[in-house]
Amino acid sequence: MNPRFTVRSFNVQRLARRLIEDDTPFIAYLKAEFFKPETLDMLKRYHIKYSENISEENIKQQFVLDLLLDKTPITQSIHHRLSSETKQLLHAYDGGEKLPPRLKNLLATDLKNKILRDPSFWRENAQTPQGDDLVRSNRKLLEAALGEPARQIPSFNEVRETLLKEFNQLLDKDFHPERFPDIFTDCISQQEDTVWKNRRCLELAFPHEIEKSYAPYRERLLHLIQVLRQGASTKQGITDIVAANLGIVGNEPDALAAKAQIDIEEFLPKQTPLFTEQLNFYQTFTINNNSLAAQTPEFTIKTLDNITLDNIKKNEAI
């Protein structure tokens, strides 16, 4: 087994959130001593509250005028989703420099409560993000309408790659688990390689955010057992065994595409004789499949050199 983290090792959403919200002694120590400042800044920008933070200060005169004039497709989409009270105050606005406080308050409330989590906002024919990623995506769209500088909200992949790099570097550090015996009693008592010990300690510190190091191999073994139960003496069965050993499991498109790259080539297959006695014409015979999986048989019938054909109509041998 390899102690290093991979892209599947983290629940990225949970881990990123906990690193920002949790200031218990060990996590505070990790952030202060080992995490790069730019990493912590990225995690703060990825936190959902950063995207949800819309206040009256974000509502500018130009944005309100754009809503009134339906100036852009995005403002048209926003206008369509405003509450009736907000629309009433919006249409009563006279274009003055000072925006009515009540209008600013209602617009900020509608943007936060109606727009940010609206899955159909400006993407009727596009794939819709889920959960907090939907809020982040909609916030990026709102930035253009509000006339704000981009808030530099990082993508899921950016955060995952950054966490992967940071935590793999942690595996080589001495973060003194003996200082936190309430978490790391089991780790402290084990005499093993530093990298492995650190991996186990981090798994204990983040039980719901970091996958156990044995999990991929357990999943691989369970899939291998399933393949063997189904029957592995066929070409497809051998392909499934190879895939399971490579960690290619499941029926997702990526797994199926990876499995399709496996090429099983037969090398001088040995033919198994099924009958030692001669067969008569019109004789029915049966071929037994020794595999548990259904398979179309391939067989060869060899004619003997001294074959005798009977002419049934004339009752004579040829």
Q: Domain check: are 49 and 3 in the same one? A: yes
Burial of 76 (0-12, 13-18, 19+ CB in 10 A): middle
Using the structure block, give the residue that is written with the tokens 């754009």: 66
* pLDDT confidence of residue 312: 57
Rounded to whole angstroms, the Cα distance separating 66 from 139 reads 18
pLDDT score at 267? 58
Are 67 and 79 a contacting pair, CB within 8 Å?
A: yes
179 shares a domain with 130: yes
In a domain, 101, yes or no: no
Give Cβ neighbours of residue 170 (< 8 Å, ≥ 6 apart): 30, 34, 198, 202
Tens of pLDDT, residue by residue, the chain (318 residues): 688 999 889 999 999 999 999 999 999 999 999 999 999 999 999 999 999 899 998 899 998 998 888 778 888 889 989 999 999 999 999 888 889 999 999 999 999 999 998 888 866 556 777 889 899 988 988 888 888 777 889 999 999 999 999 999 999 998 887 888 777 776 655 566 788 888 888 988 899 999 887 656 566 666 666 766 666 566 777 777 777 767 676 777 877 888 888 877 665 556 666 666 667 767 777 777 666 667 777 777 777 676 666 665 666 555
In a domain, 284, yes or no: no
Does residue 243 fall inside a structural domain?
Answer: yes
Same domain for 133 and 241?
no
Residue 110 lies in a domain: no
When divided into structural domains, the chain yields a total of 2
Comparing CA positions, the residue from 82, 137, 80 lying closest to residue 109 is 82
39 CB-contact burial (10 Å; exposed 0-12 / middle 13-18 / buried 19+): middle
Residue 179 lies in a domain: yes
Residue 95 in any domain: the answer is no
36 in a domain, yes or no?
A: yes
d(CA 35, CA 9): 18
| Claim to verify: residue 222 and residue 254 sit in the same structural domain | yes
Q: Which of 150, 181, 211 is the last residue of a domain?
A: 211
Residues 44 and 174 in one domain: yes
Shared domain check, 253 and 198: no
**Within this chain, do residues 145 and 46 fall inside the same structural domain, yes or no?**
yes
Indicate if 134 and 195 belong to the same structural domain.
Answer: yes
Same domain for 27 and 13, yes or no, is yes
Residues 125 and 190 in one domain: yes
Q: Residue 144 has what pLDDT?
A: 81
Question: Are residues 41 and 121 located together in one domain of the fold?
Answer: yes
Q: Which domain holds residue 26?
A: 1-54+116-211
pLDDT the model gives residue 35:
94
Residue 107 lies in a domain: no
Handedness of CA 167, 168, 171, 174 (dihedral sign): negative
Domain boundary at 187, 211, 235, which?
Answer: 211
* Domain shared by 124 and 250, yes or no: no
Q: What is the pLDDT of residue 287?
A: 72
On whether the CB atoms of residues 112 and 78 are closer than 8 A, the answer is: no
Q: Residue 311: beta bridge partners?
A: 316
